[in-house]
Structure formats: C-alpha cells, structure tokens
Amino acid sequence: EAALACEGGLLWHREHLVVACANHACGGAPQLLFFARARPLDTAGDVQAVALAAPAVAMSCHDSELLVLCRNNVVYQYALFDALGVVQVSLRREASLAQAGVDARRVRSLQWVPSALFDARPAFLVHEGIELKVVCVGVGAEEGQPPSVAVVSGRVEFTITSGVNFGNMHSTVWWFSGSHLYAALISLEDFMEGGVGALVDSMEGGARHRHRRRRHVLRIRPEFFPVAISADRGMAVGIDQDWTLEEHAVIGLAKLPVRAKLYLHNILDHMLSDGAEQDALMYAACFEHLEFFPHAMEILLHEVLEREMDHFHQHRQHQLAVSDDATESDDAVVSDGVAAAAAAVINNDAAVLPRVVALLENFSAFHEIVVHCARKTEAAFWSHLFACVGGPEKFFRQCLNNSELETATQSLIILQTLEPASVNEDNILALLAKVVAAQNKDLCLEILRFVKMTSESDPTMKRLLTSLQKS
C-alpha cells in the first residue's frame, strides 16, 4: 500500500497477478505490474512493469489478450506470452473511444465482444455509469471513420462475460439491472460473424458494423444479488440478505448467505422456443454428468407445461366469451369450435412442449423426469403432457421394458387417472410380476398399498385386490 496505489483494478492472467496502479517508487507514474503467483507480493523484487500513457480506468483479460482503458479515452491492447515463468508483454494496437462519446472517468468496466473478427473489427463492451453499450472502432482503411455505438441496456449494475464453450454456444454476456439478470447468448455463428448481432439490433455509424438480425436476450429473476456465473454448472451465484432481530435486542443482526439459482433450463427453453432443437441438445449434453441435471430438466418441463396450459385456458375463455352471443341452436357449433380451438392451441407448430419432450428423450433419465414432473403438477395437465409423450400406457410399458420398476410404480396413479380400469389391471399384474422377479419387497408393498387404496372406489381394483389376497 505504501509502494503503489491501485487505480485500474486487478486481475489474474494464469500464474500472474496484473495490477494497474500508480507506482510511487517511480514518482506516481501509471504502470502495469505483473506479480508471479509463487513469489512474494513485493515491488522491491524483480517485478515486470509496463508504462502507461495515462492512469488506467478499467482492464480485462481474454485468453492472451489484455485490454486497458486509460483516462485519455484510449484502449490499449496487449498480447501476453508466458515464457519460463516470465510474462512477455507486447503492445498490439491503440483504439480511441473519444469520438464515441465515452467518458473514461465514468467507465466501470471494459470487455471485448467475443468475435472471431476482433483483430479486423474490434468491438468493445463498455459499462459507463449505468449504461451498457457496444462500441465498434475502425482499423486499417476504416480508421478515420467515427466509431459505431449501440446501447445494449440503459440500466446496468455490472456485467460478466462467460467464455466457456458448450455445444454450439461460444460465450455468454451477462448483465444485472438491479432486479433481473440478462444474458445474450453468442453462438459459434454469431462469434464468426462478429458477435455484435447477438447483443444489439443495429449499430449507428459505419456501414461495415451495421447488423439487422433480431436480438435474443434471456431474462432471469434471481431474487438475490448475483456476483458470479458458474458456467460449467449452469447456475448464477450470489448473496442474499438475512436479517434477524432477537428478543429484547436493540439492533438487528444481518447475515449474507450464499445463494445459487439454476439457469440451465432457462437457456434450453430459450433455444427451443427459437426452434434451435439441435443447439439445445448439444448444450444440454454438456451438463448431463451433473447430479442435478434431472432436476433442472424437471423444472424445464414443468414451466413449459404450465405456460402452454395457461395459454390454452386463456384461448378457451376467449372463445367462450365470443360464444355468449350465440343462440341455443348454435350450441353444437360453438362446442365444436371451442374443441377445435383447444386442439389448435395444444398441437400448433409453435408449441414448445413437444420439442422439450423430444429433447428429453435423448437422455437416460427421460422417464424419471416425466414422472417426477407429473406428480408435482396438477392432474388436469396430465392429459396434455402424456399426449406429447405418446400416451400413459405406452409410457408405462416403456418403463417396464427398460426395467425402470420404481418409475413404473410411481406412474400407476397417472395410469389410473387417464386410462380405463380394465387396462390398468393387466398393467399392474405385469408390473407386479417383474417386481416379484426382482425380489424388490418395498415396491411390492407400495403396489399393494396402491391397489388397496384405489379398490374403495374402483370395482376392478377391488376384484384385483381380492384375487391377490387369495394368491
């Protein structure tokens, strides 16, 4: 603290800590200092230093590229090379943001827009005040042109760029507005085209940087303050407030517990809604090894099912409201119209639920996910869910053929609700035979309890219970 004053932040580059500071040993000159992880944090030793033209405001590191924004509104791009524990720093280029209207004193962070064209057409993600904007600067033949600027969001507290590749996704740009967490998904195609199209609808400025594709941004409400993105686990991590006031206490006690929220299902829902089934499959396959993957897929299935059923009921209420003016002689026609409208809502091409089911069928936990979701959902939704699966009896038989006996046992209540009693009798006997052959006593008892419970209201189950008791 006596030797230097940190001004532009700190960050890690592999085995080195990079510090943007004013070095008092050199008369307060602005510098970049590189401290090796294995050595003491001391400026008296052999510390590599890079002089800056002006005090640093913000910096970020992307692979082997270091971006430093200084108070003179110039971004300096350095190439970093590791050789025998020593970092070699080479200045690649300078890019002025003065004509973009950026005030370096108000900049809170500077990052790159992930792009394969960054060397030819650099684009920066600048967080200035509470505004997040994309600034594209010209190089080479375009160097004299004014920068292109587009506002991503007008209310941002912080931003994070996650550069972990999953499936067809190259990286994700996150920003927090104070109430919601937003994510712009940058696919490999977006990355190859410059990355800007995934963040903004269009750019103001040079024609080379103008994009017309529609922006797709994911929105999540975390209900806590997020501070990091765990991309390899598909979750946002942050802190919450927990206030307690003990009896007779004068002041309250505050705790900051760590919270986490899954966003894996949100991204998959986003992809499937856009019709990118193959991208969703490749993305989901990268997380199949996680222990909570089936739970995340249950959330995906449950949210999509509830959303589509809500749309169906809203559409049906609208149809019924329209039919209020119809005469009694038109009742049959109105009824047929309502039924046709309901079928159209459930089976239309834009429905996401069939795409979710098709995605889940690629994973071994498919039947378990569907049953667990159904048992946590209203029974009124079951017919719609299992219509997309292929029917409750077909689903049950698939569980039997795959020897998923516990899942088949859990689906008995669904089979009982949606299928005739005569069909259920044969299925229960088939399941019971497999369970007995597997010598699973707990499942045998559970099946018998189910038959006994349903025998009070179902004559077929009562007859089956009597025959089982005799045998």
As averages over each run of 10 residues, the pLDDT of the chain (471 residues) reads: 82 90 83 85 76 92 90 92 82 88 91 84 90 82 71 90 81 90 88 83 47 64 90 90 72 84 92 90 93 95 92 74 56 43 51 93 94 92 91 92 91 87 80 87 86 73 68 62
Put residue 82 in one of left, alpha, beta given phi > 0 → left and psi -120 to 50 → alpha: beta
- pLDDT of amino acid 196: 84
- pLDDT of amino acid 215: 58
- pLDDT of amino acid 419: 84
Q: Which long-range CB contacts under 8 A does 189-193 form with residues at least 24 apart?
A: 191/114, 191/115, 191/116, 192/116, 192/117, 193/117
- pLDDT of amino acid 305: 93
Residues 81-125 pLDDT 10s: 887 778 889 999 888 888 888 899 899 999 988 888 887 788 899
CB 206 within 8 A of CB 220: no
d(CA 403, CA 278): 29
- pLDDT of amino acid 349: 58
- pLDDT of amino acid 22: 87
- Residue by residue, what is the 3-state secondary structure of 360-400? HCCCCCHHHHHHHHHHCCCHHHHHHHHHHHCCHHHHHHHHH
pTM value > 0.75 = yes
CB 214 within 8 A of CB 239: no
Name which of 253, 262, 251, 185 is nearest 223 in CA terms.
262
Residue 282, classified by CB atoms within 10 Å of its CB into exposed (0-12), middle (13-18) or buried (19+), is middle
